[in-house]
Each structure stands twice: as structure tokens, then as C-alpha cells.
Chains A and B, each alone.
Chain A
Amino acid sequence: MDFSYTETQDMIRETLSRFLADTYDFDSRGKMIASATGRDAGIWKALAQDLGMLGASFSEEHGGLGGGHLENALIMEELGKVIAIEPYLQTVVLGGGALKAVGGAIADAVIPEIIGGNVVIAFAYAEPQGRYNLANLRTTAKKDGAGYVLNGHKGVVYAAPWASHLLVTARTGGSGSEAAGVSLFLIDANLPGIVRRDYPTVDGFQASEIYFENVAIPGDALLGGEGAGLPLIEQIVDEATVAVCAEACGVTFKLHQGTLEYARQRNQFGQPISRFQVLQHRMVDMFMEVEQSKSMTTMATLKLDLPAAERMAAVSACKAKVSRAAKFVGQNAIQTHGGIGITQELAIGHYFKRATMIEGQFGSADHHFDRFEKLTLAE
């Protein structure tokens, strides 16, 4: 058992943190979001080509640094500290995670392109009726010669307007929420028949509703076995869930820090409000939630390669705790700021918005408590 970071991991964190401090100040972020594309694509290129950051979690054979889940977690935490809107989660954690899991020619072809910053992947999995059930799919992929024909509607696909590729879940068989018949595909985002309605999200990203209308996709777009994709999807979503928890650690850390700073300089009743015990204790409670979030994220990160049932229980325990922490820290940061906290003017409100979306991303606290109980509390 060992809880220390390697020198390389420390270096990744320091390099990234310095880069983001220079590029992602509050004003610059606001300008990126307000721009025509809603991002600064140059930052993604710089992360890849100047910093080598997009290769941190890939093997050296693919041109990466040989890391894995821990590298993803610490990069996501740093991105969370500046509420970055980079598509790291979608491209590297989800797309890269699926490719690492299946390996073969498609991994050899696409992973180096991810590392080089040449592709952006969006994960098209959610459907309006499916809520957090990954198997509840109405999108279909019907066999057609050597390929498939895709039909259906995917909702709130983060990063889709920027994407070169879509990672899509669809039914090649079965129905309802059956495990059998679920498949995973990696396709070109610009194939004929893909219709997008793009929009900004409340937390600063860009997303799309995606409609597949008889989209012809090649047979080699299939990742893993036909109809047997659910375990792979569950695995990459678990990896992404932990990555989002790591991001939450960065976001809530800054919510807490920002609240401390504000309370020290805000005077009422002739003294800084940080002197009031009721606020001190609230800020201590926020601190404890942030620390416990870090602990749970560390725990779950280290358990991502365990057998599925253990992995899922660990991830759900982590997300249940972190979702509640994100709500608690976010709400109390705003409350401690008072009126200014609910304006667009301070960064704190923008951190709160991201924290709030993280609460539900890949499953709310309730969803994960349920899954945890099914796995661990058999009667």
C-alpha cells in the first residue's frame, strides 16, 4: 500500500497548473465561452503539443507517458481548479479509455491522434427516456452488409459541436434495458445523416442534441463485440465518473478557497465576516467535504482496475459522496458570499454552476446509493 505520487506525476501537476494559471484566468475563460466556437482550440493544441498532457494516461507504445487512471485524475483536478471547458473527459478518459480497452488496429490508429491533439471525441450515450440507465437505449444500429445503419436521438452530448468523432451507444439487438444487444461504436462526427442542434450548457461547455437519420457506418467502427458492449460501456463510464469526481475536487477546492478569501475581506458589523463563528464552522464543514471528496476519489481511482462488482461499488460510493459534497460546498459558497454570489461578476458563481452539473453527471447521489446498495447490501 502506497499513497505517494511519483516524480512524473508531480511534474505533470506542476506543469499543467502553471500553464492553466497563465491561460485560464477568469476573463480569458469568459472570452472563450463568448466566442463563436465557444472555446479556444489553441489551448487544446498546446495541451497536446507543447505540454504533452494528452498523452499522460496512454502507453509509451502509443506515444504516451505510460500513465493511467491516476494521471487522468490529477489532470481533471487541475482542470477543475480553473473550470476549464476542455474536452479532456470526453476525448481522453472516455474515448481513450474505450480504445485502450479494445486495443487493436483502431486503437493504434486513433490514440496517437488523441495524443497529438488532432481529434476531439464526444460521448453520445444519454437518451431522453434513459436517465442514468446505460442500457436503456432506443438508438439502433442495424446490420447492413459489412456495416451498420444508425437511427435515434442522443441528448446533451457535451463537446459534440467541437467533435471530430462520436462515441455512440446503440442497440444491435434486444430491447428496453436488456444487457444483451448493446454495442459501442466510434464514428466520424461528420457522416451524412448526422443532424445536430448545438447549444451552450449552463456550465460553460457546448453540447448538442444529435439525431441519427439512417447514418451508414462502417463495420470497423464497432468497439468490442457486437451486442456485448455493455460491460465496456460500464467500465468507461465508471472511469469517467471518477474523473468527474476528480474534477469536482478541484472545483470544490476553489469554491472553498474563494469563500475563505471573500469572508476575510468582507466587513459587516465593523469586522470581517470570517470572525463570526457560525461562518467559521460552516467553512470548516466545507473544508471537511473537500478533503473527504479527495479521499473518496483517491480510493475509487485506485480501485478502477478491480473486478467489475468491486469497481462499481467503489465508484458509486465515491460519486454518492462527491455529489453531495459538491452540492454542500457550492451552496454554502454562494450563501457565504451573499448577493454578489448570485451574479455573473465573480468567478465563484461559475464554479457553483459547474459543481451543480457535476452532481448529476453520470448519475446523481441517489442513483449511486442505489447501485452501491444493490452490490453490497444483499439481504
Chain B
Amino acid sequence: MQLEFSPEEIAFQQEVRSFIAENYPENLRSVQDEGHDLSKEDFLSWHRILAKKGWIAPAWPVEYGGTGWTATQRFIWSEELAAADCVGTMPFGLSMVGPVIYTFGTPEQKARFLPGILSGDDWWCQGYSEPGSGSDLASLRTKAVRDGDDYIVNGQKTWTTMAQHADWGFFLVRTDPDAKQQEGISFLLIDMKSPGVTVRPIITLGGEHEVNEVWLEEVRVPVDQRIYEENKGWTCAKFLLAHERTGIAAVARSKRGVEKIKQIARTEMDGDKPLLANAFFKRKISELEIDLTALEFTELRSLAGEAAGKGPGPESSLLKIKGSEIQQRITELALEAVGHYGAPYFRGFGEGDNEHPIGPDYAHRAAPTYFNTRKTTIYGGSNEIQRNIIAKMVLGI
């Protein structure tokens, strides 16, 4: 065991750091700094640069377009991305459906869908939750009925993140209404431009349009867009959720988040002294920072286990629970730190709007971000569901 990076790892760190410095889009940086909402093109501009370099999917096997990096190199990569405040890549293709396709798909499906995920030409969304099926996902009712070489799909999905931009969606649908809940579900890839697909926005507490309802009415889906066997979609779903949970720890980004809180607490005044001199606020920061270190080393231990041949198992639920709580605490402290200036409602800059928003820059999005981040303990299987998973799969009770 050792913490130090080897000379090769240090060289790698230098290489990725310079790459980011030299290639991160200038205009994207200014969009971020000024607090604008990011457009689809904003996200894709960085995605395409990474795709061209071959670094878009470090976690994938090399044969499908991965980098072949070690766990340590991937750790370095995520640290450097976070330290440079790079926008994230969308997880729906790269971390969710991609691994499902290369694990369960046919050679034809891999050839058809993986290149578009890597290049960014296909934007993906996730059709899991339904109005009546949240935590009890396996109770889902969206129906797919076989008709020749197609399925006819009818139903409604909800909380579909970024579906307004999506070219493709991966959907859990019921193909056998008579089987036990988990056993009658299939995993379908649906072209979002298919007739009968309707996307309607849901506006969340911070005023963002991030999630949507997706209506499916008599949508024809060719059978060759089903991944894995009919009625075995739950296997793909579970696999995907375990993968989703590890990324959800978001350690590197949270470290950056804690640094920003410290910076705010050094700037904000609490009477005659900086807020950081307030013993109560200081204790909240140190508790947060120490919990984040515990999360970081839990993830590193888990990655080491993965490298030794153990895949991301149910213990990744621990990373999801702690990671999501920490993300929330960061936004909570940021809002607390800005004091009065959490209140002004910042709608973003309109066209030709040059007036500076109220309050310091770091305060503009403190409240909306806090509101928005309540999602982290709800999505990807709520933290209560994660505890059920650990109880059953790890503790055996």
C-alpha cells in the first residue's frame, strides 16, 4: 500500500493537466463563469474534444473505445477535471446505456450504438421512472406488445433528465404482464424522433428545465433495438444502477465544492471577522471535509477491489448514500454562507441584458443550486432504497 504517485503517474498527471489547459473551450469557460445555463452545444463542445482525443470513456474496456487507464489514472483524471472546473459529460450514454450495450448487446447493436455515444452524435436519455413507479421501479406499467418485428409501446415516463435534447432513450417496458414483476420487463432503445413520442418539460424549484415527462403513444420499436433477452431487462437495469452509483460519489467535484465554500467563508464577513472565524460554521466545514475524505478513501478502496476483479457490487450503494449527502451539505453550506444574498432570484442573463445581478457572483446560484441538489438523495434509487439494497445484498437481512 502506498499513496504516492509513481513517476509514470506524475507524468500522466502533467499530461492531462496540460491537455485540459490547452483544449478546454474558452467560450464555455466564460458561459460557466457568468452563471448562464449551459446549452446542448455547450455540453457537446467539450464532449467532442475528449472524443477526438480518445479520452471520452476512460472506464470502458479498450476494445470498445476505453483508454485502458489504471484505477489510479482514472482517479487522477477525475481530480484534474474537477480542479479545472470542467463541465461534466452527460452520464446517460457514457456511464449508463453504453456499459449495458457492450455488456449485454449483440455485435450488431454494439456496432450501431457505441460509436454515437462516444462521438456525442447521439444524446441519450433514461426512461425508467413512471408517475406510479418511483422507488418501486419494478411495478412499471409502460407496455410493449409484440407485433411482427416491432414492439408497440404505450405508457408514460417521468423525471427524464435532458430528454428535450435527446436523440435516443433507453426504456424499461413491460413485455409480460403475467410474470412476476421483475421478470416481465425488457430493455428497449427508442429513437426519440419516433412518431408517438412526446416530451413535455417539468420545471424544478430553481426554475431549471432539466427534467421532463415522456409520453409514448403507439410507438413502433424494432425488436432489434431490444438489449438482451425479452423479459430479462431487469438484469440490465440492476447492472446499470450499480454502475450509476459509483460515479454518483462525485468525490473530485465535491472536493472542489468544499474549497469554494472555504473561499466564500473567507470573503463573507460575520461582523468584524470573516465567517470562517465563526466556530460553528468552521466546525460544519471540518465535518464536511472529513466526511468527504472518508468517502474518498472508501471509493479508492472500492476501486482497488474492482481492479482485483470484484465488479462494482452492492457496496457501491454506500458511495451513493454518502456522496449524495455530501453534495447536499455543500450546497447547504454555500447558501448559509451567503447570508442575505441567498434571497434575490437570479433568472440568468436575458438577450442583451447587461445589468449586473444582485449580490456577489458566488451568491447568484446558491439557493437554486441548493434546491436543485435535493435531487441527489432521491434519484438513482433513493437513499432509503440504497439502505434496503445494502441490508439485503451485503448484510443478508
Contacts and interface: CB of A to CB of B under 8 A. Distances in A.
Contacts of A369: 283, 286-287, 290
Contacts of B396: 260
A263 B391 CA distance: 12
Interface in B276-316: 276-277, 282-283, 285-287, 289-291, 293-298, 300-301, 303-304, 308, 315
Contacts of A46: none
Interface stretch (A143-151, A155-163, A292-300, A348-356): A292-300
B286 A1 contact: no
A2 B397 contact: no
A302 B289 contact: no
Interface of A is mostly: helix
Contacts of B37: none
A34 interface: no
Contact of A291 (B286, B287, B298): B298
B391 A284 contact: yes
A281 B387 contact: yes
Contacts of B321: 288
Interface in B1-46: 1-6, 9
A94 B296 CA distance: 29
Interface in A267-307: 274-275, 277, 280-281, 283-285, 287-288, 291-292, 294-296, 298-299, 301-303
B397 A292 contact: no
Given A1-B5, A280-B387, A287-B390, A292 B304 contact: no
Interface string B75-88: 10000000000000
B9 A379 contact: no
Interface residues of B, number: 47
A317 B258 CA distance: 15
A283 B301 contact: no
A292 B286 contact: no
B12 to A, nearest CB: 11
Could you say which interface size class chain A belongs to? Answer: 35 or more
A280 B391 contact: yes
Interface string A345-379: 00000000000000000000000010011001101
Contacts of A303: 3
A207 interface: no
Contacts of A302: 1-3
A284 B390 contact: yes
Contact of A295 (B277, B298, B395): B298
B266 interface: yes
Given A280-B391, A288-B318, A373 B291 contact: no
A376 B288 CA distance: 13
Contacts of A274: 397
Nearest to A281: B387
Interface string A1-23: 11111000000000000000000
A320 interface: yes
B374 interface: no
Contact of B4 (A1, A263, A317): A1
Given A4-B308, A284-B391, A377-B286, A70 B1 contact: yes
A296 B294 contact: yes
Contacts of B297: 295-296, 298-299
Contact of B318 (A291, A317, A377): A291
B322 interface: yes
Identify which of A3, A288, A292, A302 gathers the most chain B CB atoms within 10 Å of its CB.
Answer: A3
B337 to A, nearest CB: 13
B110 interface: no
A1 B289 contact: no
B395 A260 contact: yes
Identify which of A274, A284, A299, A379 gathers the most chain B CB atoms within 10 Å of its CB.
Answer: A284
B157 to A, nearest CB: 28
Interface string A320-364: 110000000000000000000000000000000000000000000
Nearest to B300: A3
A296 B293 contact: yes
A379 B282 CA distance: 10
A149 B395 CA distance: 58
Given A263-B397, A284-B395, A373-B286, A298 B262 contact: no
A31 interface: no
Contacts of A2: 1-2, 72, 304
B344 interface: no
A299 B1 contact: no
B141 to A, nearest CB: 25
B293 A3 contact: no
A197 interface: no
A131 interface: no
Contact of A379 (B6, B273, B301, B391): B273
A288 B395 contact: no
Interface in B195-209: none
Given A284-B391, A303-B3, A377 B282 contact: yes
Interface in A49-93: 70
B290 A372 contact: yes
Nearest to B5: A1
A295 B294 contact: yes
A159 to B, nearest CB: 29
Contact of A376 (B287, B289, B315, B390): B289
Contacts of B262: 377
Contacts of A294: 301
Contacts of B293: 296, 299, 317, 321
Contact of A5 (B1, B3, B384, B391): B1
B11 to A, nearest CB: 14
A294 B294 CA distance: 9
A295 B1 CA distance: 13
Interface of B: 1-6, 9, 72, 75, 262, 266, 273-274, 276-277, 282-283, 285-287, 289-291, 293-298, 300-301, 303-304, 308, 315, 318, 321-322, 384, 387-388, 390-391, 394-397
20 contacts: A1-B3, A1-B75, A3-B300, A4-B1, A4-B308, A277-B388, A281-B391, A284-B391, A287-B318, A288-B321, A291-B315, A295-B295, A296-B290, A298-B301, A299-B297, A302-B1, A302-B3, A320-B286, A321-B293, A373-B286
6 residue pairs, one from A and one from B, having the closest CB atoms: A3-B304, A295-B297, A280-B391, A292-B294, A274-B397, A295-B298
